[in-house]
Amino acid sequence: MIVAISRAYGANGKAVGAAVAADLGYRLVDEELPRLAALRLGTSTDVVRGIEDRGVGVGERIARALATAHSETGNATVLPLDDPLVADYRHEVDRLVKESAQAGDVVIVGRFAGAILGARPDLLRVFVRAALPWRIAAVRAALDCDEACARTEIANVDAARRAFARDAYQIAWGDPTAYDLVLDTSRFGIPGAAQVIVAAARAAGR
């Protein structure tokens, strides 16, 4: 089975993915994808991290804001919208996601893996969301910022991911009809959400 986890910013999707992989005994593919993409493109991880959450077609104001809010763990360098590296990055990530899925028994977090892999019986597409207060608390802890800053970063990252999904993959990011399973970590917690995904993966793999 392949479990592709998309997540709202601040919903702790990365932690959920790690718990799912550990429980199932699957490989976890997460931060290594931007590192490998950067290596193949001959650039830095910070540069490629600035591409996806900046979003194709998103205004430069949002892009600048996202330069300091790409992920729960680090900063990113924003490229100009017309930089050819954006297209190269998409091609490289698509290839890496398909390579990761080829052997099966893998959890892929982010990178729009569900859209890249398309319709296949061994794929479970998951979206991890959470109530706004939960997300604000997570982002405040990660970025060491106040509530207003966290709200702004959440709105900006969500907007960028939505635009990137639309422009790059022609999907509606966060639309429940695009996923097999949608889970709320503020309702189930990280361990509980992981348990639901594990059960769904085992059921789908029968």
Which residues in the chain land under pLDDT 50?
Answer: 54-81
Are the beta carbons of 97 and 114 closer than 8 angstroms?
A: no
pLDDT of residue 33: 61
The token duo for 206 is 């029968």
- What's the number of CA atoms in the CB half-sphere (13 Å) around residue 117? 30
CA 118 vs CA 96, 114, 182, 190: distances in Å: 15, 6, 17, 26
pLDDT of residue 61: 33
Eight-class DSSP state of 56: T
pLDDT of residue 67: 40
Which domains are assigned to the chain?
2-204 (3.40.50.300)
pLDDT of residue 82: 52
Q: How many CB atoms lie within 10 A of CB 64?
A: 12
Amino acid at site 117: L
Eight-class DSSP state of 110: S
pLDDT of residue 198: 97
DSSP 139-181: HHHHHT--HHHHHHHHHHHHHHHHHHHHHHH---TT-GGG-SE
d(CA 180, CA 151): 28
